[in-house]
Amino acid sequence: MTQRILVTGGAGFIGSHYVRTLLGPEGPGDVHVTVLDKLTYAGNPANLDEVRGHPGFDFVRGDITDGELVAALMPGQDQVVHFAAESHVDRSIDGGGEFVRTNVLGTHTLVDAAYRAGVTTFVHVSTDEVYGSIDEGSWPETHPLDPHSPYSASKASSDLLALSYHGTHGLDVRVTRCSNNYGHHHFPEKVVPLFITRLLDGGKVPLYGDGSNIRDWLHIDDHVQGIELVRTKGRAGEIYNIGGGTELSNRDLTRLLLEECGADWDASVVHVPDRKGHDRRYSVDCTKIREELGYVPRKDFATGLAETVRWYRQHRDWWEPLRAKAAL
Ligand code: NAD
């Protein structure tokens, strides 16, 4: 029987890749996807061009905080996969209001409507940033939350709200916490596409502080693989970390991006003051999703990065208008 899935934030970077995959040749077949997306600066209808006209696809432009709209869309949906969020840490440092509204209030609006409409499964897509910062070792899912930025605090709040509908009402809520994603269709304000697009134009790239902050990098194909495993085989009320297995300092990441774009460090890198409250290192322990659901990241970082740079070289028509839109 056809599974009806409501995907929020499906016009963004990861959500659109998820929708294209679900409805593409590698997808499960027999799914109907309704995307609910407000089309903020980060939402781009062009990200969904590939699936427009697919019989299993609908698009609704709207806000996840709009209770009436969300209540009207929910009946008849079997599952919700919730990506919609304000997602850029730097913007949350400039002002957190929109982050609280969308990430906290929006998640509550969705999960409450899902419960009332009898939706079977609610997958809430979150982030490793909710755990804080870790100098050594990796966080298991049981690690206490210690978010530091308004972005990560709003995501931590949304995780707790979503899970409270499992604890209180028995709704099948599953939470994923992933590391830093990279890949094609990534809005050019985030470090990887920002650096690539600047370097392809012969411009300069800003490196925060001493560049020693460390992140784990996860290709979007692997993230989508992890979310699908959680949606189809995960357990109610559980949290699953999803990582890529490649830890890099920002300096090392910058070096690899310069190499891939054929640019020189001294001519291209500008050192800028560190981000306020910049977490030193993130590292997720992925034992649970690997042992329980068979998740193994497949994309090796060098290949994924080379493919990503190639995509940006070939798709100026996609990113040039966005740079202007985000005033980059
Ligand atoms: P994105 O910013 O590219 O896309 C967000 C999408 O949500 C956009 O299409 C936007 O229009 C939509 N949206 C925003 N506010 C909305 C609202 N009020 N109502 C309806 N739609 C709204 O984000 P992304 O990078 O694709 O991230 C998707 C999810 O994954 C987010 O929940 C984010 O917190 C999480 N995440 C992302 C990363 C990463 O590296 N990009 C890492 C960890 C977790």
Residue pLDDT, tens place only, 21-52? 999 999 999 999 999 999 999 999 999 999 99
What CATH number should be reported for the domain holding residue 321? 3.90.25.10
Element (H, E) at 121: strand 121-127
Q: Are strands 214-219 and 246-249 parallel, antiparallel or unpaired?
A: antiparallel
Per-residue model confidence as pLDDT tens digits over 149-174: 999 999 999 999 999 999 999 999 99
Are 191 and 141 members of one domain? no
Task: State if pTM tops 0.95.
Answer: yes
SS3 261: helix
Residues 6+ apart with CB under 8 A from 24: 50, 51
Domain range for 136 = 3-181+220-242
Per-residue model confidence as pLDDT tens digits over 83-113: 999 999 999 999 999 999 999 999 999 999 9
Side-chain half-sphere exposure of 311, counting CA atoms within 13 A: 17
Q: Is the per-residue pLDDT at 326 higher than 90?
A: no
235 touches 174 (CB < 8 A): yes
Are 24 and 128 members of one domain? yes
DSSP string covering 77-94: -SEEEE--S---HHHHHH
Q: Which of 41, 82, 87 to mutate to test the pocket of ligand 1 (most atoms within 8 A of CB)?
A: 87
Q: Is the per-residue pLDDT at 324 higher than 80?
A: no
What CATH number should be reported for the domain holding residue 12? 3.40.50.720
Are 157 and 238 members of one domain? yes
CA of 13 to the centre of ligand 1 (A): 7
Work out which ligand 1 atom sits closest to the CA atom of 151: 34
What is the number of structural domains in the chain? 2
Q: Is the per-residue pLDDT at 139 higher than 90?
A: yes
Nearest residue (by CA) to ligand 1, atom 1, is: 12
28 inside domain: yes
